[in-house]
Structure 1
Amino acid sequence: AGELLSPRQCFLTHCHAYGIQPIDIVQINYQNDELLHAEAVEGSQMGFEGKQVIHPRQVGVVQEVFSPSEGSIAAARDLMAAFREHQARGAGSFVFKGQMIDNPTMLQARNVLARAGLPTQIT
């Protein structure tokens, strides 16, 4: 759907600007799991947080792509723990596994945990 790339990007930009969850467009060929998977991966990489479906058989493919992996959940938990330690010492930004960590990075970690249905509080 190359002809829809620009409108999708525009929609995505507006969603992020206004704090609206961006959901990607539907794949009408509901029997083509490979095409659906490819589009879902592309949408996820673009920044969409989900994809519309029109048939129950599409749900599993979309959930597989947009659900956080066990590895990303573990990484988010580790980062939250490190943030708590640094916060207790009064530190702001810090380096974790070679990456500079600040509030936007913590927001990404919280989003991973929220998408997995896990607690996101820093206590």
Structure 2
Amino acid sequence: MLTTNPELDGIFGVWDVPSEGILAAARTAGREDLVITTIDLGANVALNIARGGSIKGLGAQLPFDQGVAEAILAGYALLGKETPSYVAVPALTVTQENILDAWEMVYSTPAPQEVQDAFNNNK
């Protein structure tokens, strides 16, 4: 893709792990200027974001919040209350500026030390 389209400024990768492959291809092609975005907050993409790398942002799921919403809907169903046919929790926008807070929101735990160190070294 990068060889055929050298004028590309950015790529969206579906999910974090496949985006790691895009990141590796960009490095191999010497494309440090390529902007990569994705969805899902994994440790490797978080580390790249914290370092100010090519992954500039992503949309993270909020699984705990989704579980809370589903539990509330199950309770409503048991009580005979009407519920919508589909409910989704909005994604969380994650960038270098909020990577540590975002990690804590998504996983209810501090970011891995390596991600914290990378963020603090690249402020």
Query: TM-score category by the smaller chain?
Result: 0.3 to 0.5
Q: TM-score, normalised by structure 2?
A: 0.33
Q: Which protein, 1 or 2, shows the higher relative CO under an 8 Å CA cutoff with sep ≥ 6?
A: 2
Q: State TM-score, norm by structure 1.
A: 0.33
Normalized per residue, the structure richer in helix is 1
